[in-house]
Amino acid sequence: MIKAILVFNNHGKPRMSRFYQYYPEDMQQQIVRETFHLVSKRDDNVCNFLEGGTLIGGSDFKIIYRHYATLYFVFCVDSSESELGILDLIQVFVETLDKCFENVCELDLIFHVDKVHYILAELVMGGMVLETNMTEIITRIEEQNKLEKSEAGIAAAPARAMSAMKDMNIPQKIKDMKLPDLPSIGNLKF
Amino acid sequence: MALSKVKGQLERVLDKNLQDLVRGIRNHKENESKYVAECLDEIKNELRQENVAVKAMAVNKLTYLQMCGYDISWAAFNVIEVMSSPKFTFKRIGYLAASLSFHDGTDVLMLTTNMIRKDLSSQGLYDAAVALNGLSCFITPDLARDLANDIMTLMTSTKPYLRKKAVLIMYKVFLQFPEALRPAFPRLKEKLEDADPGVQSAAVNVICELARKNPRNYLALAPLFFKLMTSSTNNWVLIKIIKLFGALTPLEPRLGKKLIEPLTNLIHSTSAMSLLYECINTVIAVLISVSTGIPNHTASIQLCVQKLRILIEDSDQNLKYLGLLAMSKILQTHPKSVQTHKDLILQCLDDKDESIRFRALDLLYGMVSKKNLMEIVKKLMVHMDKAEGTNYRDELLAKIIQICSQSNYQYVTNFEWYVSILVELTRMEGTRHGRLIAAQMLDVAIRVQAIRPFSIAQMAVLLENAHLLANNSQRNGICEVLYAAAWLCGEFPDHLTDPKSVLEAMLKPKITVLPGHIQSVYVQNAIKLYANIIKRAEGEGGLETVRDVGEMLQERLPIFIQSSDLEVQERACCMVQLVKYVLKLQDKGGEAAAGIAEEINALFAGELNPVAPKAQKKVPVPEGLDLDAWINEPPSESSEDDDEKVGGSIFVPTTHDDHRSFYSEPKKKVPELTEEEMQKMKHQRMADQEHNPNYLKPSKGNNKKSSTKEEANGVMEIDLSVPLHVPGFASSDKYMQLENEERRKRKSGKKKKRKKKGAAADSDEDDIPQAHQVSTVEELPEGAEAVSDKEDGGGDELYKKLDIDLDEPLKPGDMLPVPTHRIVSDHTLPEATEPEEGRKHRKKDRGSKKEKKKRKEDKTDKKKHKKKTKATPDEPSLMMEDHEEIDGDNTPLTSPRNTQPPTQVGEENGEKMNDLDFWLSGKDAATPSEPLHGAIMVSEVKVTPLQDLSSDEGAKPDKPDSSTHSKKKNKKEKKEKKEKKEKKSKKSRLRAEGYEETGGITTPSQEQVPPAQADTPVNVKPMSSYRLLAENATIKMTCETRVSPQRGDQVVLSVVFTNFTANIIKNLEFNVMDTLNTKLDRGMGHSNHDAVPVPFVLPPSVSNEGQFAFNVDSLSQPSKLRGTLTYMVKMDDGSTHEKLDFRLTLDCSSFIVAVPCKSTEFASLLGSGDLTEKGTIKCTPVDTNFDGALLRICFYNHFKVVEKVEDSASLYGRSIQGQHLCLLVKHAKGEVTVDGKSSDGSLLSNVLGEIKTVLTSEVL
């Protein structure tokens, strides 16, 4: 059984948390903090397994995590799960996210945490692994997206337009705009 | 109206959505809480709106806030509102919020029952799926009870997606509502063989979770899982199953024997590390459960250890970690094979990765022996000096103590060394394990009597240097050792050389910085020392010193009277008075002073032994004492609150130092024992000790001498060997040198001996004498022996409830509750007619039961029983629809409604067990040393009972056959073939019956179970004979193709290599010439000319199986490939390279998967117009029997019978790329006509051609 799935960034900010056992909110925050504390002080070239979060688990539980760019994906599992299997599952999860968001980055997770939950729900249900076949997962997600779109229909058009407007964030866009590199200027001799 | 709606929409456009909220929070980093409070107000506002879209958006925002740690339980009702929206978009948001925030205590959950039920039975696929998702997170006992039935219905849904989820959620239902397990189990079991791999994997998942907690109940499923293990290609499923077997083997050693072959094969062949690792794990579990009896069990161990070594040496830290983890499991039973890798493990102690270091430490624990203990501990001490991070250092410290103290100091040969180690450990800064060290000091000094003088001397040194230790007076810090030191010096003052100086050290004013419990021990033991000093003085007549000491006490003790610690204060007051009194008596002199020493010493007389850990529990309850009875009337409910507060302060002692309970243990005496009882107890104990082989009788004289000598030695030498630190502390190093020297001496002596004796068998482990003996006396209360040592494992209540015997047939009570009022009206109709029908069933059941009994008397054959239980459809039958199905003539035993006499239940159970027995013994009897044919043998076992059912005549002659042929197998190959043929024909007969049965019952209400599922020859499939691929004098290859429905472009060729020679064949390499259409999968980074190495060597006359994957583009043409196998035969005089050419044909039938198809689906498929291509063949089959012909098509061409009516049948098959193939087979006058329809013409014509060959050729 999987007890919890946490995603947080390099600073310990939670990006998604999913507990398959009830904990009150403040406890959840503590667990995230503790897990971050445990995980973040580890080098990248050490093993991906950790024993002994005191808040979650106990001797039977293990923390299995992977570190991708700015994000940690952490699974807290008991001994009925295969360690390497879970590592693969994390990989599947991230690859699925990557496919669904097209080059996923932390911002996607920040702004679409609900979607991340829906994607996760196709992989893991109630703490048990539901599906590991990525094509199957993606078809299911796409079908649900289609369903959602068809329900929104014409009524959603103004809302979409509006959110597109908001998304534009023009000042930032200008800042981000990249000018072509002109490295040769400095070398020009007059 | 419409206009206002649009207007509302437009207004809403400006509402904040989730993205805005996130953006806002990010923009208000410095005053986030204020911003969130504003947002929450907005959300509350939005939740008040009528518009569901607005509410949904608000709830969506709440889910984000929940993640940030804000409580959103106040919005539970609004969440339910959103959940109940008919639109999928909103429903999904609602369920997500619910799954994140709802829990057992959410009171509005009870409102959701009907809503969830409606969603579960909704037409929309994803509505039901979303409901299941949500439910899996917040299911409560009530919901589980009310919805179990609906979920059960979903388990038979036509959509695999829903089936999968429904199966998975059943585990949660069982947890919350254990009563559901028994009725639901048959259906769950059925899903293990579901056509959809996802559903299958879910079912495996659920059963594995269940079996992990209560493995015994699932032993009966072992054959089924075994079959899955040998047939499945899904690594996830394999891993789960293999893990499950790991849990089952301890209960059934025979299962382990059966497993070891396929598992070692997997270990050899798999490339997936995860699978490899789990295989090794389970092999280890098997080897632990059956330590003897497996012929090549050392070979298996070696294989495991060797593979693990590869893992540990791998550069991937994960593999290294797991390798160590698995190694520690082997260690428990086969320490020898692990000890050879000591170098590797010690090396891991230096790893930069903490997890790996911890694992390596765990391993060390098991690797110590008397010989290497000192060496290993020394290494650990060095590590401890180097280690940074107190955490790891503490772990090392604890490990050292654990290693040394394990199994009653089994490996400690020299306790002086150990005491010195403990003393050295006290120099560790900032450790949290002060108490642990202290406990060890106490334990060793008390239980190893011979070491007392030495350890007391060490303690005295510790006390005199207390200022070094007292510095860090934090809780549990190193100052705790002073507790032990003070107590030991006080308790055994006779061993002190200079009690006066120790006493002075104990009364230094600096002591007052120590924690209270240590101070109180100081005070108490100061007086004990005082008493001892008086005693000594009386002997020598040095009254002056006694007076001095008394005055010193009088002067210094008052500091303690002012202590803030109650205990210290109290004791100090007492002691001051006592000293005063003694001084007064001494002043009087003469007679009064004479008896003082004796009197005071009497205060502290008595020997102390450790109290057995369970002593308190074992105090027998006196007769007539009822501990549960109220002494006074229980207080009334209303006044409880007030009482509690008052009562709390009065009666409950303020436990500010909880360490009391820990430390008082060694001193604890069982209260209220009279002199007589004590005497009796002592006698008994003596008697026990006499007879107890574990009790080491002290042989004092000898030891004492040597140790006192060494003690002097030790104290002298310290300064030389230890470079710094306190003078007076013993060093442990010298003991090591000493030991080494001795060993050298011993060894040389032994060598001589051995030469005389020849090969001495044992290691010198036993020769090392233990210098001191450990006493195992423990105080136990009177009458304790009578009480058994029962563990009260506090285990998980939750899982205990699921400990349900599943083999027992269902009883009338075993039903899922059917709600009395429900929204879906489908089920109400059959319910209404239930009582009548139920009665009818019962009558019928009784009739058939009689019949059965009769049959049972006829044959005592186990196999027969097996079939019977098999034949009874283990349908869960919770609903009436299912009931009707069961109503066949052979159902009764497991039908839920009939009541059974208890005797029969027992019988049935016995049968089940016998089934398992039979299966387990099957292979042993049939193939004593055939490594390969695991899968095939299983299927044979499965097949034989089938024959029994079909015809009694068939069974009788076959029985002796199956037993004899096992013995003379290799001689009788020809005969075997004949037998097989016979079997086939019998089977076909049976199948014909099966069809008629199912065909007859098919009623509209049966929709839920596809008719083909019941008794069609699915079971026969693993029989699949391997085709000969190529053969020469040295080696033979037979092959079989396998496909998996998930991979539309891959065929797996499973090749069995058989070595005919008496030599080892190795370096097998398999290669084919790729065609445009078909390519051998050679793995990454290999060109298309490279050969694929076969991952094993073939010992003489052994078979093994290798698998090769082919990637196929188009399926419509059979692929013909030329290939070569190269190999090396290793002979005594060198080796030769040889090769064997072969031609491999992948015919079109091998791409077809037999998929169950219902007749309605079949009809709609034919009617849809998609199947445009047609084809027909006619032939005269060798099997004149129509069923035989059908069986052949099903078996060799992978079709499935959809429906059969008299002499015609419709068959269905699907290619792995999804092309449908529909066949109509007719039989008339010995001729068979096959009409086919498909979407792919050339595929169809090829398949039809192959069918013709199959039908007309004699032997395949």
CB contact under 8 A, A159 and B104: no
Token pair listed for B304: 């495991």
Distance CA A16, CA A90 (A): 14
Contact B203, B171 (CB under 8 A): no
Give buried/exposed letters for B986-1006 (b at 16+ CB in 10 A, else e): bbbbbbbebbebbeebeeeeb
Q: Which helix (H) or strand (E) holds B1142?
A: strand B1134-1146
How far separated are the first and last CA of chain B, in Å rounded? 76
Least confident piece of the model among B223-227, B735-739, B1197-1201: B735-739
This complex has an ipTM of 0.86
Distance CA B1015, CA B471 (A): 80
Contact B381, B424 (CB under 8 A): yes
Least confident piece of the model among A166-180, B12-26, B88-102, B1052-1066: A166-180
| pLDDT at A10 (0 to 100) | 92
Give all strands (DSSP E) within B787-934, no chain letters: none
| pLDDT at B161 (0 to 100) | 92
CB contact under 8 A, A87 and B136: no
Mean pLDDT for the stretch of residues B1157-1183: 81
| pLDDT at A141 (0 to 100) | 93
CA angle B253, B256, B258 (to 5 degrees): 120
Restricting to A residues 125-154, those with a Cβ less than 8 Å away from any Cβ of B are: 125-133, 136, 140, 143-144, 147-148, 151-152
Complete DSSP assignment for B553-610: HHHHTHHHHT-SSHHHHHHHHHHHHHHHHHHHHHHH-THHHHTHHHHHHHHT-S---P
Query: Is B828 a residue whose pLDDT tops 50?
Result: no
Residue holding tokens 């809403």?
B12
| Higher local confidence (pLDDT), B1084 or B1196 | B1196
Distance CA A104, CA A127 (A): 24
CB contact under 8 A, A128 and B205: yes
Contact B148, B177 (CB under 8 A): yes
Question: Counting one residue from A and one from B, how many pairs have CB atoms under 8 Å apart?
Answer: 156
Coil, strand or helix: which one is B889?
Answer: coil
Cα atoms in the 13 Å half-sphere on the side-chain side of B569: 5
pLDDT in tens, B216-231: 888 888 888 888 888 8
Distance CA B1037, CA B1024 (A): 16
Identify the CA nearest to B278 among candidates B319, B240, B226, B318: B240
Pick from A49, A82, A111: CB nearest B355: A49
Which candidate in A9, A80, A135, A170 is best for mutational testing of the B interface (most B CBs within 10 A)?
A80
pLDDT in tens, B332-343: 777 778 878 888
Contact B937, B927 (CB under 8 A): yes
Mean pLDDT for the stretch of residues B665-675: 47
CB contact under 8 A, B355 and A47: yes
pLDDT in tens, B462-502: 888 877 766 655 555 777 888 888 888 888 888 888 888 88
Contact B1130, B1065 (CB under 8 A): yes
Mean pLDDT for the stretch of residues B651-671: 41
Residue holding tokens 């058009």?
A157
CB contact under 8 A, A82 and B206: no
pTM of the model: 0.55
| pLDDT at B778 (0 to 100) | 63
| pLDDT at B59 (0 to 100) | 92
Cα atoms in the 13 Å half-sphere on the side-chain side of A86: 26
Mean pLDDT for the stretch of residues B291-304: 69
Q: Which residues of B touch A111 (CB under 8 A)?
A: 18-19, 22-23
Q: Which residues of A touch B171 (CB under 8 A)?
A: 126, 128
Contact B443, B409 (CB under 8 A): no
Contact A122, A140 (CB under 8 A): yes
The DSSP secondary-structure symbol of B180 reads G
CB contact under 8 A, B318 and A126: no
Distance CA B121, CA B154 (A): 8
Mean pLDDT highest for which of B312-326, B335-349, B699-713, B880-894?
B312-326
Token pair listed for B913: 């067990």
CB contact under 8 A, B277 and A84: yes
A25 interfaces chain B, CB cutoff of 8 Å: yes
Give the residue on A whose Cα is nearest the Cα of B354: A46
What confidence tier does A4 reach under pLDDT thresholds 50, 70, 90?
Answer: very high
Query: Is B932 a residue whose pLDDT tops 50?
Result: no
Distance CA B1125, CA B1141 (A): 6
Pick from A47, A121, A144: CB nearest B353: A47
Distance CA A69, CA A106 (A): 9
Contact B640, B574 (CB under 8 A): no
A97 interfaces chain B, CB cutoff of 8 Å: no
Distance CA B457, CA B419 (A): 11
Mean pLDDT highest for which of B198-207, B289-298, B533-542, B985-994?
B198-207
What confidence tier does B96 reach under pLDDT thresholds 50, 70, 90?
Answer: very high
Give the residue on B whose Cα is nearest the Cα of A20: B137
Contact B452, B444 (CB under 8 A): no
A43 interfaces chain B, CB cutoff of 8 Å: yes
CB contact under 8 A, A83 and B354: no
pLDDT in tens, B792-821: 444 456 667 777 767 666 665 566 666 554
Identify the CA nearest to B507 among candidates B491, B530, B484: B530
Contact B1023, B936 (CB under 8 A): yes
| pLDDT at A9 (0 to 100) | 92
The DSSP secondary-structure symbol of B1102 reads -
CB contact under 8 A, A22 and B274: no
| pLDDT at A5 (0 to 100) | 94
Shortest Cα distance, chain B CAs vs residue A74, angstroms: 15
| pLDDT at B854 (0 to 100) | 46
A159 interfaces chain B, CB cutoff of 8 Å: yes
Identify the CA nearest to B827 among candidates B885, B881, B896: B881
CB contact under 8 A, B318 and A166: no
Q: Which helix (H) or strand (E) holds B271?
A: none
| CA-CA-CA-CA torsion sign (B21, B23, B28, B31) | positive
> How does strand B1064-1072 pair with strand B1119-1131?
antiparallel
pLDDT in tens, B838-873: 444 444 444 444 444 444 444 444 444 444 444 444
Shortest Cα distance, chain B CAs vs residue A72, angstroms: 16
pLDDT in tens, A89-130: 999 999 999 999 988 888 889 999 999 999 999 999 999 999
Q: Which residues of B touch A148 (CB under 8 A)?
A: 88-89, 92
Amino acid found at B699: S
The DSSP secondary-structure symbol of B1225 reads E
Query: Is B659 a residue whose pLDDT tops 80?
Result: no
Give the residue on B whose Cα is nearest the Cα of A31: B69
Shortest Cα distance, chain A CAs vs residue B144, angstroms: 14
Query: Is A51 a residue whose pLDDT tops 50?
Result: yes
Q: Which residues of B touch A50 (CB under 8 A)?
A: 355
pLDDT in tens, A134-171: 999 999 999 999 988 888 765 566 666 666 666 665 55
What confidence tier does B686 reach under pLDDT thresholds 50, 70, 90?
Answer: low
| pLDDT at B896 (0 to 100) | 39
Q: Which helix (H) or strand (E) holds B947?
A: helix B934-950
Token pair listed for B136: 């899996």
| Higher local confidence (pLDDT), B302 or B166 | B166
Q: Which residues of B touch A121 (CB under 8 A)?
A: 133
| Higher local confidence (pLDDT), B781 or B962 | B781
Shortest Cα distance, chain B CAs vs residue A189, angstroms: 46
Q: Which residues of A touch B169 (CB under 8 A)?
A: 125-126
Give the residue on B whose Cα is nearest the Cα of A45: B317
CB contact under 8 A, A128 and B161: no
What percentage of chain B carries pLDDT values higher than 90?
A: 7
| pLDDT at B288 (0 to 100) | 76
What confidence tier does B783 reach under pLDDT thresholds 50, 70, 90?
Answer: low
Shortest Cα distance, chain A CAs vs residue B431, angstroms: 19
Mean pLDDT for the stretch of residues B600-617: 76
Shortest Cα distance, chain B CAs vs residue A184, angstroms: 39
Contact A49, B318 (CB under 8 A): yes
CA angle B845, B848, B853 (to 5 degrees): 120
The DSSP secondary-structure symbol of B611 reads B
Shortest Cα distance, chain A CAs vs residue B1117, angstroms: 27
Chain Cα centroid distance, residue B201: 18
Shortest Cα distance, chain B CAs vs residue A96, angstroms: 18
| pLDDT at B167 (0 to 100) | 93
Cα atoms in the 13 Å half-sphere on the side-chain side of A9: 10
pLDDT in tens, B129-164: 999 999 999 999 999 999 999 999 899 889 999 999
Amino acid found at B1042: R
Chain Cα centroid distance, residue B523: 51
Coil, strand or helix: which one is B208?
Answer: helix
| Higher local confidence (pLDDT), B18 or B1022 | B18
Shortest Cα distance, chain A CAs vs residue B40, angstroms: 16
Q: Which helix (H) or strand (E) holds B458?
A: helix B452-464
Shortest Cα distance, chain A CAs vs residue B232, angstroms: 15
Mean pLDDT for the stretch of residues B1107-1111: 83
| pLDDT at B518 (0 to 100) | 86
| pLDDT at A124 (0 to 100) | 94
Q: Which residues of B touch A126 (CB under 8 A)?
A: 136-137, 139, 168-169, 171-172
Average pLDDT, whole number, for chain B?
Answer: 72
Among left, alpha and beta (phi > 0; psi -120 to 50; other), residue B1173 is: beta
Shortest Cα distance, chain B CAs vs residue A175, angstroms: 17
| pLDDT at A75 (0 to 100) | 93
Coil, strand or helix: which one is B293?
Answer: coil
pLDDT in tens, B47-68: 988 888 889 989 999 999 999 8
Contact B948, B989 (CB under 8 A): no
Pick from B12, B100, B168: CB nearest A126: B168
Pick from B93, B202, B355: CB nearest A130: B202
Query: Is B930 a residue whose pLDDT tops 50?
Result: no
CB contact under 8 A, B209 and A80: yes
**Residue B920 CB contacts under 8 Å (≥ 6 apart), including other chains:** B222, B252, B254, B255, B258
Least confident piece of the model among B280-294, B310-324, B500-514, B1224-1238: B280-294
